[in-house]
Amino acid sequence: SAVISQKPSRDICQRGTSLTIQCQVDSQVTMMFWYRQQPGQSLTLIATANQGSEATYESGFVIDKFPISRPNLTFSTLTVSNMSPEDSSIYLCSVPETGEETQYFGPGTRLLVL
Amino acid sequence: KQEVTQIPAALSVPEGENLVLNCSFTDSAIYNLQWFRQDPGKGLTSLLLIQSSQREQTSGRLNASLDKSSGRSTLYIAASQPGDSATYLCAVRGAGGYNKLIFGAGTRLAVHP
């Protein structure tokens, strides 16, 4: 099974600033997913990040707000730009098992925007 | 558009009870269905994965069933324990090479001694 780490684990930020979240996987994976979990809500997919190509964003999410980097097969970053209190959420990185069976999740980054 | 619904939204039971958590989905063309557990402030832990061709999967005190044609899955927890207290999430993956997970809103379970 994949082991996923995220940094930071939590942060408190001021509105208007940006935060970059890092996701590191202990094995090479083609696809990485970024999810958002707003308070009391379930998980919503933000985008799919493939190495060597631009991320694919879901409806309601745009690259200017959530730029993603995928420099290699074990690492990705998600930036939350120009933050507002509505961006307060848990952000989770996820990778599928080979063959897209089970999906593994990182511990999440808890973001509070004041 | 696939939608996943979980009932009940919250459940509080005494220790030792057998529980059934329900998950329904609108599009039966799924690749698989997965049940996760989320503890407060933590990430997700995969509990059981059921392929679209399977009817059920078991792991310890957990049993998950799938009725694809009716768009339903249940997670059965036997002899519940306080350590089972968590939020349980159901997620489906679409068929036909469509590989993102669609999550339900979850069932918050509290098992008290």
Q: Is A69 helix (H, G, I), strand (E, B) or coil?
A: strand
Residue to mutate among A41, A90, A103, A112, with most B CBs inside 10 A, is A103
- Residue range A34-51, pLDDT digits in tens: 999 998 888 999 999 988
Average pLDDT, chain A: 92
A87 φ, ψ to 5°?
-85, -5
B38-93 pLDDT, tens per residue?
Answer: 998 778 999 999 999 999 999 999 999 999 999 999 999 999 999 999 999 999 98
Q: For residue B58, how far is the Cα from the chain centroid?
A: 12
Size (chain B), residues: 113
Give the pLDDT confidence of A22-38 residue by residue, as tens digits: 999 999 988 899 999 99
> A33–B100: do the CB atoms touch at under 8 Å?
yes
Cα(A87)–Cα(A80) distance, integer angstroms: 8
- Condensed to tens digits (0 to 9), the pLDDT of residues A65-103 reads 999 999 999 999 999 999 999 999 999 999 987 765 788
What does the alpha-carbon distance between residue A83 and residue A36 come to, in Å, rounded to a whole number? 14
Distance between A102 CA and the closest CA of chain B, angstroms:
7
CA distances (Å), origin B11, targets A9, B31, B42, B77, B113:
29, 29, 20, 13, 14
Question: CB neighbours (10 Å) of residue B60?
Answer: 8
Q: Which of A33, A42, A100 sits opposite B89 (nearest CB)?
A: A42
DSSP code string of A66-82: S-EEEEETTEEEEEE-S
Query: What is the count of residue pairs from A and B with beta carbons less than 8 Å apart?
Result: 49
- CA distance to partner chain B, nearest, from residue A16 (Å): 25
Which of B39, B46, B49 has the most A C-beta neighbours within 10 Å, making it the best mutation to test the interface with A? B46
Q: Which helix (H) or strand (E) holds A15?
A: none
Distance from CA of A17 to the nearest CA of B (A): 23
Tell me chain B's radius of gyration from C-alpha atoms: 14
B95 lies within 8 A of chain A by CB: no
User: What's the burial of A59, exposed, middle or buried (CB within 10 Å: 0-12/13-18/19+)?
Assistant: exposed
Q: Residue A72's beta-bridge partner residues?
A: A75
Token digits of residue A90: 């848990």
Q: Does A110 touch chain B (CB under 8 A)?
A: yes
Chain A residues with CB-CB distance to B104 below 8 A: 42
Strand partners, B90: B35
- Among A3, A83, A82, A76, smallest CA distance to A35 is for A76
Of B109, B43, B49, the closest CA to residue B82 belongs to B109
DSSP B90: E
Answer for the pair B44, B89: CB distance below 8 angstroms, yes or no: yes
Collect all residues of chain A within an 8 Å Cβ-Cβ radius of residue B46: 102-104
> Are A103 and B101 inside 8 Å of each other by CB?
yes
